Amino acid sequence: MYDVTIGYKNQCPLFIDNALGTNPSEVHMHIKRIPVQEIPLAESEVSSWLMNEFSRKDELLDQFYREGSFSDDGRSIEEELSMATCIFNFCFVIFLSCIMLMVIFSSLFWIKIYVALSCGFLTAATYLNYKPIPVLNV
């Protein structure tokens, strides 16, 4: 599991700022990998573990707003994205979005069947308190 904390240099941007590309000019990310074995299984332990994780994230953000960066433990990666990479990624996402829209609108019947079966399964799983076995024991 990955814990991602995002810090905006000046202020948290609005949706319109992101859509127009005007703000933010600088974004910092702190990513922490949490092995699955470290996540408690008992419900009472999970709630206290989550509270501890969120208080740690609050301290991390407080430090970010005081110092202007997340704590550097020697593994900081700073790199500029080239304009060509950004344009390629943008075009790739638009291309995939168009393909997905074509698939969705061309097979609307199958989407409805899939949604109905998914809702039925989730309702039954909730009602019967069914917890699936993980496919990968990572």
- For 51-60, write each residue's pLDDT tens digit: 999 999 999 8
* pLDDT at 138 (0 to 100): 57
Side-chain-side CA neighbours of residue 44 (13 Å) = 0
Note if the pTM is more than 0.85: no
Burial 57-85 (b: 16+ CB within 10 A, else e): eeebeeebeeeeebeeeeeeeeeeeeeee
Q: Residue ranges per domain, the chain?
A: 1-79, 81-138
- Around Cβ 30, how many Cβ atoms within 10 Å? 18
Beta-carbon contacts of 1 under 8 Å, excluding residues fewer than 6 positions away, are 33, 34, 36, 39
pLDDT tens for 75-133 read 555 566 678 888 888 899 999 988 888 877 777 777 788 888 888 888 888 888 777 67
